[in-house]
């Protein structure tokens, strides 16, 4: 692999040297005091991220607990749903992308699910959500930042709908928490889910859920999957442990990555992510490319990843040559998922990217498109990205 290899996929994202070094420390028992210190440190910093993800850095939760899970965010999604409706119930799942669909599929293992669907990349119909959520609804699920499409969904508005029906609200913040604004109480979130390998900039393998104090009485660990019993996790967290064997190196890596976030501060981190996402968009737009997501008054472009429509000459069967040209330049980006394969590409600005790396990403895409015969204004795109980064 090239020394200057640049990972711009929307997860896993690049991890810092301090994180890699933390993972290489000698092994200890997962029931040792040494591990308990690691868990305590990681939990403290991750809890700060869940509670302090605002442009001002002010806390947004009256009380709750961040739990660190030995599994990726799909485990966190299942834990949230399984502990709330593990013995059946009514769930409304908002779906306008791959991960909203995944949330619905998880919930269908446990409950009767009503899907409120929109085309992938299209805004949520809030009236349709309001019609679907009734006083019989137990849980509403939603993805805040839809990774498959680059669309930021109106978690606040759907939270109001859930609250009016006295339903519990579970939100996938996998690619927003740690990189963008997230308000636990203001948005009425009962359980939030995120992943180590995304905006937290830690290695893949762990996830975290934030469980508000208010939702704890509604949990039913006996009905949940054995491995994902949140009540059990809460009890063990009181002694800085997990119920089962913990992936010690991954916890060390997460603790180091979350400490870097705390050092930067969430207010500055959010501002940087928003500036870098805008630079990617401005660069690609000035180059002559178009964003994929559709917007309305309630939806916005993601601030942690950017989804762009592939132009003629790099779309469909021609997409592979474009992706190969990007890879040949030492950069890794992602294509579309599911039926969007060959239709879009996605780049991430999650983690600790520098301004120079964002500019390189814009230039690389432009040069790769030029190589496969697509007429794009590479110089103009790079200049626009630089100008945005300097604001």
pLDDT tens for 73-95 read 999 999 999 999 989 999 999 99
CATH topology of domain 6-11+266-389: 3.90.1150
If you average pLDDT over residues 208-235, what whole number do you get? 97
Is it the case that residue 184 has pLDDT exceeding 90? yes
Among 320, 329, 337, residue whose Cα is nearest residue 366: 329
Strand ranges (DSSP E) for the chain?
Answer: 6-7, 64-69, 90-95, 112-117, 139-143, 145-146, 151-152, 168-172, 191-195, 207-212, 300-301, 305-309, 331-332, 334-335, 344-348
Percent of the chain with pLDDT over 70: 100
Handedness of CA 284, 124, 61, 39 (dihedral sign): negative
pLDDT given for residue 215 in this prediction:
98
User: CA-to-CA distance for 233 and 235, rounded, in angstroms?
Assistant: 5
If you average pLDDT over residues 303-316, what whole number do you get? 98
Determine the number of helices (DSSP H) and then strands (DSSP E) in the chain: 12, 15
- Strand order across the beta sheet in which 305-309 lies: 305-309, 344-348, 334-335
pLDDT given for residue 104 in this prediction:
98
DSSP label at residue 291: B
If you average pLDDT over residues 2-18, what whole number do you get? 96
If you average pLDDT over residues 243-260, what whole number do you get? 98
pLDDT tens for 332-344 read 999 999 999 999 9
User: Comparing 6-11+266-389 with 17-264, is the CATH topology the same?
Assistant: no
Is it the case that residue 383 has pLDDT exceeding 90? yes
Give the tokens for residue 249.
């190196």
pLDDT given for residue 3 in this prediction:
86
Is it the case that residue 296 has pLDDT exceeding 90? yes
If you average pLDDT over residues 290-311, what whole number do you get? 98
Among 301, 348, 264, residue whose Cα is nearest residue 49: 264
Domain definitions of the chain by residue range: 6-11+266-389, 17-264
pLDDT given for residue 88 in this prediction:
92
pLDDT given for residue 255 in this prediction:
98
Q: Which CATH class is domain 17-264?
A: alpha beta
pLDDT given for residue 192 in this prediction:
98
Are 199 and 351 contacting, i.e. CB atoms less than 8 angstroms apart?
yes
Is it the case that residue 2 has pLDDT exceeding 90? no
Percent of the chain with pLDDT over 90: 97
Is it the case that residue 198 has pLDDT exceeding 90? yes
If you average pLDDT over residues 133-159, what whole number do you get? 98
pLDDT band at 1; cut points 50, 70, 90:
confident
Average pLDDT, the chain: 97
Which residues are bridge partners to 151 per DSSP? 146, 301
């Amino acid at each position: 692999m090239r020394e200057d290899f640049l990972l711009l996929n929307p997860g896993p994202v690049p991890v810092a040297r301090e994180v890699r070094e933390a993972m290489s420390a000698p092994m200890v028992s997962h029931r040792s005091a040494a591990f308990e210190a690691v868990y305590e440190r990681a939990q403290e910093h991750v809890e700060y991220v869940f509670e302090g993800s605002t442009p001002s850095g002010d806390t947004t939760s009256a009380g709750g607990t961040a739990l660190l899970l030995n599994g990726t965010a799909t485990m966190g999604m299942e834990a949230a749903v399984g502990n709330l409706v593990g013995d059946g119930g009514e769930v409304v799942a908002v779906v306008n992308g791959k991960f909203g669909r995944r949330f619905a599929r998880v919930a269908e293992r446990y409950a009767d699910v009503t899907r409120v669907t929109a085309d992938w990349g299209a805004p949520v119909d809030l009236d349709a959500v309001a019609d679907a959520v009734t006083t019989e609804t137990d849980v509403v699920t939603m993805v805040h930042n839809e990774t498959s499409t680059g669309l930021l969904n109106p978690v606040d508005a759907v939270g109001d709908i859930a609250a009016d029906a006295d339903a519990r609200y579970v939100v996938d913040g996998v690619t927003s928490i740690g990189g963008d604004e997230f308000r636990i109480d203001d948005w009425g979130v009962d359980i939030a889910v995120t992943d180590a390998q995304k905006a937290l900039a830690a290695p893949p393998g762990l996830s975290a859920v934030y469980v508000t104090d208010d939702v704890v009485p509604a949990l039913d660990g006996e009905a949940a999957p054995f491995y994902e019993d949140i009540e059990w996790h809460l009890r063990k967290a009181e002694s800085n442990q997990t119920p089962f064997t913990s992936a010690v190196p991954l916890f060390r890596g997460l603790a180091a990555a979350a400490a870097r976030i705390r050092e930067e501060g969430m207010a500055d981190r959010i501002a940087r992510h928003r500036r870098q996402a805008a630079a990617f968009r401005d660069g690609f737009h000035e180059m002559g490319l178009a964003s994929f997501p559709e917007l309305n008054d309630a939806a916005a472009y993601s601030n942690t990843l950017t989804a762009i429509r592939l132009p003629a000459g790099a779309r469909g069967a021609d997409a592979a040559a474009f992706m190969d040209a990007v890879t040949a330049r030492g950069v890794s980006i992602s294509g579309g998922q599911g039926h969007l394969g060959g239709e879009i590409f996605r780049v991430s600005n999650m983690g600790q990217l520098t301004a120079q790396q964002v500019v390189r990403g814009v230039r690389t895409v432009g040069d790769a498109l030029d190589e496969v015969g697509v007429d794009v204004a590479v110089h103009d795109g790079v200049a626009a990205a630089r100008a945005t980064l300097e604001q």
